[in-house]
Amino acid sequence: MKPDFSKQELIPAIVQDVNTNVVLMLGYMNEEAFTKTQKENRVIFFSRSKNRLWTKGETSGNFLNVKNILLDCDNDTILIKAIPVGPACHTGSDTCFNEKNTENFLSKIQQIIKDRKNNLAEKSYTSSLFKEGINKIAQKVGEEATEVIIEAKDNDSEKFKNESADLLFHYLILLEAKGVSLDEVIEVLEKRHK
């Protein structure tokens, strides 16, 4: 993978949050900045105003840690998927486009569940389910599914929403226990849709 710097010395580099897919900023890279970014796994641009290489976050500490680098079909635009350490914009905004960069709440819950599995906490309900094993987790999913069915037959939408949330939460725990991601389940649905 190598950008085509023969067309122009500086090519655009779009930075996107790897977790939220929100576009954080746009900068420019020359060949040296691109090579250094790959080597250090930290976004390094060529600053047109400073006329030198510039590590994003070198003064603020708000670095952009590289997770993946992609090129467009013409190899003259770079897409960097990164994890931002703090706001991406020098104004203090999450992005240079003044957008909020908030993590998808479902992804956040999945990360908490994974953490509770990998770091069993004594006073954690989720950790206690992992300690009890797959049978207990599957039983809880069954119980919550039954409660959703019962509430679906009534007209109390608040109870139905609460039971639905309980079912989803326990289903996410079951997925983690089985080593299957929600994204993999979504991929199955997408394939069926075609």
Taking Cα atoms as reference points, which of 138, 135, 112 lies closest to residue 125?
A: 112
What is the percent of the chain with per-residue pLDDT over 90, rounded to a whole number?
Answer: 90
- pLDDT, residue 108, reads 83
Q: Give the model's confidence band at 105: pLDDT under 50 very low, under 70 low, under 90 confident, else very high.
A: confident
To the question of domain 11-84 being in CATH 3.10.20.810, the answer is yes
Q: Give the model's confidence band at 54: pLDDT under 50 very low, under 70 low, under 90 confident, else very high.
A: very high
Q: Give the model's confidence band at 103: pLDDT under 50 very low, under 70 low, under 90 confident, else very high.
A: confident
Domain with CATH 3.10.20.810 in the chain: 11-84
pTM, entire model: 0.63
64-71: strand order across its sheet: 23-29, 11-17, 78-84, 64-71
Q: What CA–CA distance (Å, rounded) separates 72 from 62?
A: 26
Q: Class for domain 105-193, per CATH?
A: mainly alpha
Token pair of 187 as six digits: 């991929």
Asked if 43 and 35 touch (Cβ cutoff 8 Å), the reply is no
Domain with CATH 1.10.287.1080 in the chain: 105-193
- The whole-number average pLDDT for the span 62-70 is 97
Asked if 37 and 43 touch (Cβ cutoff 8 Å), the reply is yes
Asked if 25 and 81 touch (Cβ cutoff 8 Å), the reply is no
Establish how many alpha carbons lie within 13 A of residue 146's alpha carbon, considering only the half-sphere containing its beta carbon: 6
Q: What CA–CA distance (Å, rounded) separates 14 from 57?
A: 16
Mean pLDDT, the chain, whole residue set: 95
- The whole-number average pLDDT for the span 35-39 is 97
pLDDT above 90 for 93 = yes
- pLDDT, residue 174, reads 98
111 vs 163, which has greater pLDDT? 163
- pLDDT, residue 145, reads 98
Helix axes 105-118, 157-178, angle to 10 degrees: 50
3-class state of residue 24 by DSSP: strand
